[in-house]
Amino acid sequence: MKVTSKVFLTIGVLAIILGCGVLFVDFPEFTRWQDTFSYILFESAARVFWILGIISLIIGNLLFKRVKKRNRIFY
């Protein structure tokens, strides 16, 4: 389970980094910051990567806490 938690944490970090990369490549040039903010939250493809990354980080953190709490390496 320790390996699984590290895999989830790694996938989460990579997904968030990939989401930032997608955002920088596909970033439109709006004049108002409200347009930019609404594009990032509602229209960008990067939000899918960020959501998957956050979910993966949460699962990995929960598994890591469970392993750390029981002081076991393998189950």
Question: pLDDT per position in the chain (75 positions), as tens?
Answer: 778 889 999 999 999 999 988 888 877 787 888 888 888 888 888 889 999 999 999 999 998 888 777 666 555
Question: For residues 39 and 44, what is the distance between their CA atoms, to the nearest angstrom?
Answer: 6
Whether residue 17 contacts residue 46, with contact meaning beta carbons closer than 8 Å, is answered with no
- pTM, rounded to two decimals: 0.76
Q: Left if phi > 0, otherwise alpha if psi is -120 to 50, otherwise beta: which for 23?
A: alpha
The set of long-range contacts for 23-26, using a CB threshold of 8 Å and a minimum separation of 24, is none
The CA–CA distances, whole Å, from 47 to 4, 12, 71 equal 24, 13, 36
Cβ pair 11, 55 in contact under 8 A: no
